[in-house]
Amino acid sequence: MPHTYIKRILDARIYDLAVETPLDIAKSLTRRLDNRVLLKREDLQPVFSFKIRGAYNRLLQLTAEERSRGVIAASAGNHAQGLAYSAQHLGIDATIVMPRTTPAIKVEAVRGYGGRVVLHGDAFDEAAAHAHELVAEQGRIYIPPYDDPDVIAGQGTVAMELLRQHPGNIDAVFVPVGGGGLAAGMAAYIKFVRPGIKVYAVEPEDAACLDAAMKAGERVVLPEVGIFADGVAVAQIGEEPFRVLQDTIDGVITANTDEICAAIKDIFEDTRSIAEPAGAVSLAGLKKYVAQNKVSGQTLIAIDSGANTNFDRLRYISERTEIGEQREAVLAVTLPERPGAYRQFCADLGRRNITEFNYRFASHRAAHVFVGVAVAPGGDDRKALVNELSDKGYQVLDLTENEMAKAHIRHLVGGHNPDSDADAAITERVFRFEFPERPGTLMKFLSHLGDRWNISLFHYRNHGSAFARILVAFQVPVADQDALTAFLDAMPAGRYWDETENPAYQLYLA
């Protein structure tokens, strides 16, 4: 039962290496959300993540003989750093298996702490499988990132500190979940000491392994996992964490990429520090909880769990933040193709700020413009804007939630297929691709495509994220349609979507 963790947590002697992190009030968020919002600053640990707690506590339990054999772990980055740092402190040899998609800042940090890095696979589960193979070959001691009672107890010290630092009323605590070690340790302690506090687990929508397990009543393996928030990108919740969490959490909240990006900005504005996506996911869940439940006047705490992110990823984060905060509407608007139409459109927008405007001549009758407009957060203002423009006679399509529009079209607007009417036997097909971003990946992708079909559109941007995103259009004879689908299905890696019927493509590129 979860209460068995209380003694383990109280006995965790980790503070000769880990530090007690502050519990800071987020003043701007408190005002904006009309709730008292506090952040538990685990980004201020020596390795910039809470993971040092569990890793060090587990190493302290090793016998002298086990220490002499060395340790090994699989990690997307933060457990790796915590383990390498702890092992260096204790004089233990450490090997870390990390996915190839791990941000470089985490890989270099592990090496800087004396850890031996082995890069393998594209996600945590592949790295973990390889780590277990090395355990069998080398006889090292495997140190799990989350599925271990001593690791869970070490992470539970976050809750012990939190309740001591804030003895007053707390309505809810929001904890990020990957494999579930932090959430299990914290929930077990909080529910034993102060059971009236609600505990919510928060996951990315595209890596919600706990949510899937809770709904199924058993652990399940997600068929695929998004790794924008790489620190919590796990396909299956840990066995022991799931056993604990089933009896201790009050619910699971999921957050999408845009909401996580907005939370990163919120943390920056209140602390002047930059959280990694996994570090901000719990705050994204807190904000969603407030919006969905219309709560006010409560005391809510989110765990800022880490700050290990590549600097160049900030380009992508910044780009998605305004939409995640629901402060920008992305619209496709049809204007009459005549002098003064754009000026009239701006006048009809009133005092609203235009954040982006893209246009290319389409026909002598109408112009399709791609426009970004600043709106008040919450979604109601965006709906009102669409209604206002429709009432004034404009054809409006809201693309704010359209992934292709946000990732590609806003950078490509204008430029219809010049051969669209030239040959009825040839059609243009458009596909969106995602695959792990590694050196040489783009060249491998182009080599695989070959020259069987003419490419009429190609868009690639390095977003500084773990996945490459590419938009490609092929000019394909009608007789070759099935062959193209079979060719794409046989691609060696990655995912693809047929976007030929996507309205964003039809308006601006078809």
465 pLDDT higher than 70: no
Report the distance separating Cα 100 and Cα 121, nearest Å. Answer: 6
Q: In angstroms, what CA-CA distances link 463 with 316, 328, 400, 437, 469? A: 5, 20, 19, 10, 8
Report the distance separating Cα 186 and Cα 173, nearest Å. Answer: 9
The Cβ of residue 356 has, within 10 Å, a number of other Cβ atoms equal to 12
Q: What is the pLDDT of residues 98-116, one digit of tens each?
A: 888 777 778 888 999 999 9
Instruction: For residue 305, give the nearest of 201, 150, 198, 425 by alpha carbon.
Output: 201
The Cβ of residue 479 has, within 10 Å, a number of other Cβ atoms equal to 8
- Active-site choice (305, 406, 456, 465): 305
Domains located in the chain, CATH noted: 2-49+149-323 (3.40.50.1100), 52-142 (3.40.50.1100), 326-401 (3.30.70.260), 426-508 (3.40.1020.10)
Give residue 498's pLDDT.
92
282 is catalytic: no
For the segment 130-141, the average pLDDT, to the nearest whole number, is: 93
Half-sphere exposure of 202 (CA within 13 A, CB side): 33
Q: Is 24 helix (H, G, I), strand (E, B) or coil?
A: strand
104-118, 167-181, 305-319, 464-478: which range is least confident on average?
Answer: 464-478
Report the distance separating Cα 5 and Cα 259, nearest Å. Answer: 33
Residue entry with tokens 């608007």: 333
For the segment 38-50, the average pLDDT, to the nearest whole number, is: 96
Give residue 121's pLDDT.
87
- The per-type count for the chain, helices as H runs and strands as E runs, is 20, 18
210 pLDDT higher than 80: yes
- Active-site choice (40, 49, 51, 265): 51
- Contact at 8 Å (CB) between 201 and 175? yes
Q: What is the pLDDT of residues 484-505, one digit of tens each?
A: 988 888 877 678 899 999 988 8
Give residue 75's pLDDT.
85
For the segment 403-417, the average pLDDT, to the nearest whole number, is: 70
Report the distance separating Cα 67 and Cα 82, nearest Å. Answer: 16
Q: What is the CA radius of gyration of the chain?
A: 25
Q: What whole-number percentage of the chain has pLDDT above 70?
A: 90
363 pLDDT higher than 70: no
305 is catalytic: yes
Report the distance separating Cα 249 and Cα 232, nearest Å. Answer: 18
